[in-house]
Structure 1
């Protein structure tokens, strides 16, 4: 079935055996990862997590149904996660939904799939699956998400604090959650002892990710200035700003560029396709479209997403992986100029 935000969160929290597959598709990979983490928390700290690669499912489609029906080695809870899923997983998902028994829930993160994809249509048409489109929230929707996450942590936003947090996180659900978790610790908040978030609390924990500073680093990467990227990332580090939200905003810019580049490849003019671009980004977008090729944009997006997925693991280099990926994109752009 096709789910909205409330439905997918409620279903994940219920962890009902009736839903075998949670398909999280669309460009907001960070939001999808956050929902996958939510399921892992619901399953419990002792639950066994099985990670499967899309290439494995393509070579052996029956593996997913087998894993979903298998018991944990120690008899406890078990769940399955697939990152970077695409149309190659269609047969595996079909077998999973058609099998008689599957006791372990599957979360598939599919950032490259659009609503018209066969895999998405399969999940939308099955009562045993939920398909949720993950898009970067903006405006009132972003504020609402901040307020919802805050409420779950025992806090209530006041004044324009929801807007400040949404803006500071760039609409990234994962960053919103981390900032709100820091706030809950600072305020000693919990559902049984609610607290209010005010401007003083935000100022105290420094919940300001420096939008202008992040934009400079992203612009340098898009323009092909790796040396400037390095200096901008160093300046962000001195200001206490993590490179991780920079990486995620860079991914969004690259995806937007790829869509515009596809229109140029189809015969549209650069001036024509940049008419709808935010006026502050028009000039740099036009320049980028003149030297970035579609195949290189796809490669850059893949590199950034790979870095983000790598950061989600335990005991990873974290910020170092983000910095390396951002600089690598800058070098890719420089080679095309």
Structure 2
């Protein structure tokens, strides 16, 4: 079994995986962390990540329709030789047969990185990679306070900065559960404090925003709390302001994945207890999030995850007007389902 423990992943990324490993599956509820680690693994395998012959990007749904394509791509020799990498992006269809085929093939000098969503233990893709001696399965869960503190110190050190202890504690508390959003906040703080040497509490209070308290929360909270009228009004406002449909769906997807993680990790606890233990949740959202946790079961949240994932993919292939039709319909359906659960 080659599932990697969460605490061992950063060390593996620093030293690099065993070259005998053919496939690396990166999955989990933190979509930002999944995307970041998949990118690092894919780009670190080649000399020039911008070379499309060295780093090939494939869509999971493409492989579902043509399982043999992954083997063909992996067996292709680079134009100028050297190590190659294939980065498989998430899909809504089952493409485990394509990965199974490539694990059976004898291929050299090719690293295959598979970026996936939150896979259950029984999911074919996860089960396949955890069983194979030629694959690694890397789970990505939302950062805890210790991991966030280490991330802050590491990224700021890269910029020649350090942060005071009290400032770090406040900054950690302001960050949400998505790695991509947290990195954005760290970069913003580093830019603000460039040249100062040490970041103080005043710097953090001046620049840091509550990542989990974005403007989109009005729409997302209304939908998952069953407020159909407010959901429709919020969506129209963001559409009028020119916000991309897939961005709104992506924010909704991150939120429902966080809800699911909180429900599963707090099994047996009441919604109020879950909210009390939710690190980074803005106090103004606590009441409405408590309503959401009371109305949505883990199975219902999993179905919502699937619905949002499919909508994101559909929006990427549609024009702007049709994408908004898809997204608004999904949010309204979620709101209606939540209202029925009241």
TM-score strictly above 0.5 = yes
Q: 1:285 is matched with which residue?
A: 293
**Alignment partners' CA distance in 2, 1:90 and 1:178:** 33
* Count of residue pairs brought into register by the alignment: 309
C-alpha displacement of 1:255: 3.6
CA contact (8 A) 1:19 1:129 kept: yes
Structure 1 unpaired stretches of 5+ = 264-270
For residues 291-325 of structure 1, the C-alpha deviation after alignment (integer angstroms, 9 at most, x for no partner) is: x994xx556423533566799x9xx99xxx8x988
C-alpha displacement of 1:135: 1.2
Q: 1:84 is matched with which residue?
A: 90
CA distance 1:287–1:116, change in 2 (3 Å): closer
CA contact (8 A) 2:121 2:127 kept: yes
**With CA pairs under 8 Å and 6+ residues apart, which has the higher RCO, 1 or 2?**
2
SS of corresponding position for 1:56: helix
Task: State whether structure 2 residue 165 is matched by structure 1 residue 159.
Answer: yes
Structure 2 unpaired stretches of 5+ = 242-246, 277-286
CA distance 1:139–1:18, change in 2 (3 Å): same
Q: 1:46 is matched with which residue?
A: 50
Task: State whether structure 2 residue 24 is matched by structure 1 residue 22.
Answer: yes
C-alpha displacement of 1:34: 1.2
Q: 2:112 is matched with which residue?
A: 106
**Structure 1 vs Structure 2 CA RMSD:** 4.4
Task: State whether structure 2 residue 333 is matched by structure 1 residue 332.
Answer: yes
CA contact (8 A) 1:23 1:108 kept: yes
**Alignment partners' CA distance in 2, 1:326 and 1:106:** 32
Q: 2:279 is matched with which residue?
A: none
What is the TM-score of this pair, normalised by structure 1?
0.69
Q: 2:280 is matched with which residue?
A: none
**Alignment partners' CA distance in 2, 1:101 and 1:230:** 52
- The partner residue of 2:204 within 180, 190, 202 is 202
CA contact (8 A) 2:28 2:119 kept: yes
SS of corresponding position for 2:126: helix
Structure 1, 123-132 or 212-221: larger mean CA deviation: 212-221
Q: How does 1:40-79 map to 2 (within 5 A)?
A: 40-42=42-44, 43=46, 44-48=48-52, 49-73=55-79, 78-79=84-85
- The partner residue of 1:225 within 200, 224, 227 is 227
CA distance 1:118–1:179, change in 2 (3 Å): same
CA contact (8 A) 1:17 1:104 kept: no
Structure 1, 44-53 or 83-92: larger mean CA deviation: 83-92
For residues 37-82 of structure 1, the C-alpha deviation after alignment (integer angstroms, 9 at most, x for no partner) is: 2235534442324333334334433321221232345657643222
CA distance 1:153–1:121, change in 2 (3 Å): farther
CA distance 1:202–1:157, change in 2 (3 Å): same
CA distance 1:210–1:95, change in 2 (3 Å): closer
CA distance 1:152–1:65, change in 2 (3 Å): farther
CA distance 1:308–1:102, change in 2 (3 Å): farther
**Alignment partners' CA distance in 2, 1:285 and 1:328:** 22
SS of corresponding position for 2:137: strand
Task: State whether structure 2 residue 255 is matched by structure 1 residue 250.
Answer: yes
For residues 115-169 of structure 1, the C-alpha deviation after alignment (integer angstroms, 9 at most, x for no partner) is: 3445334433444322111111233343334334444554433224444444433
